[in-house]
Amino acid sequence: MPESEFKGGAFEKAQERGQKIKEKLGKIKKKIAVYSGKGGVGKTMVAVNLAAALAKKGFSVGLLDADIDCPNVFRSLGLESKGAEVDENGDFEPEKKFGIKIVSVSPFQKSEEEATVWRGPLIAGALVQLVEHSKFGELDYLVIDLPPGTSDSPLTVMQVLQPDMFVIVTTPQKLAVLDAKRSANMVKRLGMKIAGVVDNMVSEEFGKDSRLTEELGVPLLASIPLKKEIREAADNGIPAVLEDKELALLFSNIVEKII
């Protein structure tokens, strides 16, 4: 097909979009994806507190809420979904709080309770647009709160963003561990690096050790206890690492192991 038939068409636009995303990602030194096999294991809590712990150490940090259907990062940081100001190119500035640049689909929703009833391709497209149009600028670290599972959404993030490492989050229950193992195997299948595992909600009731690190052959980054202080901090829109000394030490250790 003659080159002229491509001009101004979908092929050329796709190339321009790909180049724009590549340039944006080129300003980010390291990308850390926080991932789980299922929802409800504390993935967002880990992502938010990891970003806050990195910022606390003086790094320039971004936080991308890539969970399009159930975005929770804004609420966890006490931010309101008040809309985003978009320039003539469709680009927008991330929200800033606690030294973190935050990007989420939340500002573009009419209400945080709105259900995102989209099929996989639409969700994947929204993820790509968030990355394409966000003005993260230069960052030492971008923490990515991935959607759970092994379907279109996390796969799109992995392919577009190419994270440098993954933090796998699980609770000690057998079903949660099984799903975490599935997500870890997806990362391995794509030839990407797992930095380690975070065991969350560790307690007498839920269990004390997922034993996932032994099966995957990766480090245990932290065992985070089941504490009401974590829930209270999130309810108040504050990363727990900024209020709780035990959590601050645990996430400081995670950061040291990662960097």
How many C-beta atoms surround the C-beta of residue 172 within 10 A?
A: 21
| CATH code assigned to 28-258 | 3.40.50.300
Q: Where are the domains of the chain?
A: 28-258
Q: Residue 70: pLDDT above 80?
A: no
**What pLDDT digit, counting tens, does each position of 136-181 carry?**
999 999 999 998 888 777 888 888 889 999 999 999 999 999 999 9
Give me the helix-helix angle, 174-189 and 152-161, nearest 10°. Answer: 40
Percent of the chain with pLDDT over 70: 88
CA distance 39 to 47: 13
E strands present in the chain: 28-35, 61-65, 95-97, 100-103, 139-145, 165-170, 194-202, 220-225
CA 76-77-82 angle, to 5 degrees, is 100
CA distance 252 to 144: 18
**What pLDDT digit, counting tens, does each position of 172-201 carry?**
999 999 999 999 999 999 999 999 999 999
Q: Are 100 and 141 in contact, with CB atoms under 8 Å apart?
A: no
